[in-house]
């Protein structure tokens, strides 16, 4: 007897400080490994996830979309609560919902946003060190913003691709780039 398989989309939030990035790797603690392990416990079957975009070691996310398939019959809140009860402190499922079978977390993603936070002061950070980049010399955020506007539009980023990059092409469109200051950040 074939079990009916449902595709789900989920949103994951994580503090990447203690992990070696998103992608599952042998003998390394990764976000994907932890999420799949937690969802597999809820489903009582192996779960494989596909992510909208992999992140590197130490990178955090507030809205990372994934998809997975399962034959387990669970309510949305059961996936979230059950998953979160099996995840470490630094990772949480924000929501899980059934989705159309043609949905693909990576290929259907139409936009990504990034935030880089620079702590700009003479003294290095202590408890913020995992969440900010520190630069001790004065920065001019107005000039940085002006310079950043040259990156707007469509550009070929071939020179910035990693050796094993799997993206189908190096052309990307930057729609918005802002630099602002809030006190020392």
Q: What angle do CA 165, 55, 120 make, to 5 degrees?
A: 115
In this prediction, residue 81 has a pLDDT band, given cuts at 50, 70 and 90, of very high
Whether 6-98 shares its CATH topology with 118-174 is answered yes
The stretch 42-65 carries a mean pLDDT of 94
Residue 2 has pLDDT above 70, yes or no: no
> Computed from CA positions of residues 123, 147, 57, 47, in that sequence, does the dihedral angle turn out positive or negative?
positive
4 half-sphere exposure, CB direction, 13 A CA radius: 5
Query: What is the per-residue pLDDT across 123-182, written as a single tens digit (0 to 9) for each?
Result: 999 988 889 999 999 999 999 999 999 999 999 988 988 887 777 888 989 999 999 998
Query: What is the per-residue pLDDT across 82-115, written as a single tens digit (0 to 9) for each?
Result: 999 999 999 999 999 999 999 999 988 888 888 9
CA distance 31 to 85: 15
Catalytic entry in 48, 56, 140, 156: 56
Comparison of pLDDT for 107 and 119, the residue scoring more: 119
Is the CB of residue 31 less than 8 Å from the CB of residue 55?
Answer: yes
29 is catalytic: no
User: What pLDDT, on the 0 to 100 scale, is given for residue 111?
Assistant: 84
Residue 10 has pLDDT above 80, yes or no: yes
Contacts of 37 (CB under 8 A, 6+ apart): 86
User: What pLDDT, on the 0 to 100 scale, is given for residue 153?
Assistant: 94
Is the CB of residue 77 less than 8 Å from the CB of residue 97?
Answer: no
In this prediction, residue 1 has a pLDDT band, given cuts at 50, 70 and 90, of low
In this prediction, residue 185 has a pLDDT band, given cuts at 50, 70 and 90, of confident
Structural class in CATH, domain 6-98: alpha beta
Residue 5 has pLDDT above 80, yes or no: yes
Long-range contacts of 80-88, Cβ-Cβ distance < 8 Å, separation of 24 or more:
82/38, 82/41, 82/42, 83/10, 83/35, 83/38, 83/39, 83/42, 84/38, 86/37, 86/38, 86/41, 86/42, 87/34, 87/35, 87/38, 88/18, 88/34
CATH code for the structural domain at 118-174: 3.30.70.660
Residue 70 has pLDDT above 70, yes or no: yes
Taking the model in full, what pTM does it have?
A: 0.86
Hey, where are the domains in the chain? 6-98, 118-174
């Amino acid at each position: 007897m074939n079990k009916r398989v449902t595709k789900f989309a989920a949103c994951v939030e994580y503090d990447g400080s203690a992990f070696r990035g998103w992608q599952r790797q042998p003998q390394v603690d990764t976000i994907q490994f932890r999420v799949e392990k937690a969802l597999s416990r809820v489903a009582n079957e192996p779960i494989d996830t596909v992510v909208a975009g992999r992140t590197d070691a130490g990178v955090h996310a507030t809205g990372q979309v994934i998809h997975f398939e399962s034959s387990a019959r669970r309510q949305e809140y059961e996936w979230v609560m059950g998953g979160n009860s099996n995840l470490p402190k630094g990772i949480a499922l924000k929501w899980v919902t059934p989705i159309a079978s043609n949905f693909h977390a990576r290929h259907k993603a139409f936009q990504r946003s990034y935030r880089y936070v620079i702590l700009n002061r003479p003294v290095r950070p202590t408890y913020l060190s995992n969440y900010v980049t520190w630069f001790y010399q004065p920065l001019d955020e107005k000039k940085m913003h002006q310079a950043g506007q040259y990156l707007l539009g469509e550009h070929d980023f071939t020179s910035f691709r990693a050796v094993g990059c799997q993206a189908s092409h190096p052309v990307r469109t930057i729609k918005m780039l802002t630099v602002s200051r809030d006190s020392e950040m």
